[in-house]
Chains A and B, each alone.
Chain A
């Protein structure tokens, strides 16, 4: 398990970092700021955070639909030399894009309504492997079977399918090229609970049978705990805590992780009372210097407001907090 399929080092994605019109410099948004982590082969690596924390941008930097402004993303395909995706040209990226695939958030908008299923799922095979006719139809039918859809639907259009079925189509499309790494960005968030359970089970089955590695981006902590081996918590562009799932959910070290966990509604009415009167997390300004979470943190001191926290290792957890392990 110790070999890494993906190594992200000091990745930056700053928007608006170029000169603006008339020599004005627009403010820089540090959507991803000095992020480093490794994804191990065969694991499910979770990325959680609120909207605006940079988790989607991070996913897009990995797959290079954004070109990061700094840092490296090293991908090691099976039996292949490591490739730095940030330095790859279009030719090389096309090869890598067969090994790294993405499942998108919104099954409504990520499938072209004017293309039949065979094209939606099989287009990539036509383009990269030159498959045609019956060969293509057979491959697509096989993919549909894998994700639990009937092969007869080959010539139907996405409009004919429910949300859960569309998400399965999205998964089939991601699997078409036999990828090693699949990035799932909020792939079950838009689904009903019963369909969500079916989709999660499907993802787990596919991981086992195809030996896939997942990067699972989500804001639903219960889902993340259920499916992920390790979890990174993002806040305003930084990973503030990274540890094994059990560790993070049992002993969250960063005040933000703790606040996030506290905010999750638990489907048990008996636990309601003790949760009343919890401090809800208020909005806060981004501090320019110091810890980004300081304005919302109940433990913040002058040190937090003036100096950026160091990355510490406490037990098995990496955490970005001055007082990690104390508070």
Chain B
């Protein structure tokens, strides 16, 4: 109910863009479903854009058309929701998707977790900031240069594993 009031406040100037930062993270699944439906309906009605910030991949799959995946302050992959979920390219995106338990998945196995944790912002690894946790980091490449966001298929990816990114540099 409070979240509805917040949405009402956000909408009172008839915005063209609604930025929703973790709008359903603290809510129960049933309430979350209501709020997501509500945001989807309002989006149609007001013909506005919605920028949804969340860590819940289920919510993203449910409502988003385009997705940007961020790691340590940088967008590491950007694409439409189908490319991101069905053909993730950046090792971080892939690892994120694998580490979520899903309903109907084989039970009781160990989840493929991303090792380590997000480095302290003041101790950011040089060049590619994900390389310290990446299983595919290439010595002499990933620790030397910083990958830029470049088109790979339908998406844009910042990773040297995709040769287009290498050629681009």
Contact = CB atoms under 8 A, between A and B. Distances in A.
A265 B108 contact: no
A226 B107 contact: yes
B113 A194 contact: yes
Nearest to B67: A269
A264 B103 contact: yes
B60 interface: yes
A176 B30 CA distance: 37
Interface in B11-38: 28-34, 36-37
B5 interface: no
A245 B82 CA distance: 30
B104 interface: yes
Nearest to B58: A265
A300 interface: no
Contact of A200 (B81, B95, B101, B105): B101
Contacts of A265: 29, 32-33, 36, 56, 58-59, 61-62
A269 B30 contact: no
B167 interface: no
A264 B58 contact: yes
- Between B58, B60, B82, the greatest number of chain A beta carbons within 10 A of the residue's beta carbon is seen for B58
B111 A259 contact: no
B30 A263 contact: yes
Contact of B110 (A196, A201, A260, A270): A201
Interface residues of B, number: 41
Interface string B88-106: 0000000111011111110
Contact of A263 (B33, B57, B118): B33
Mostly helix, strand, loop or mixed at chain A's interface? helix
A272 B95 CA distance: 22
A162 interface: yes
Interface residues of A, number: 44
Interface stretch (A122-130, A216-224, A303-311): A216-224
B117 interface: yes
Contacts of B28: 50-51, 219
Given A278-B33, A280-B30, A281-B30, A226 B111 contact: yes
Which one of B29, B96, B112, B114 has the greatest number of beta carbons of chain A within 10 Å? B29
A193 B55 contact: yes
Interface in A149-164: 162, 164
A286 to B, nearest CB: 16
A142 interface: no
Interface of A: 50-51, 162, 164-165, 192-198, 200-201, 204, 219, 221-223, 225-227, 245-246, 249, 259-272, 275, 278, 280-282
Interface of B: 28-34, 36-37, 55-62, 64, 81-82, 85-86, 95-97, 99-105, 107-108, 110-114, 117-118
Given A263-B33, A282-B34, 4 more contacts: A263-B30, A264-B103, A265-B61, A266-B103
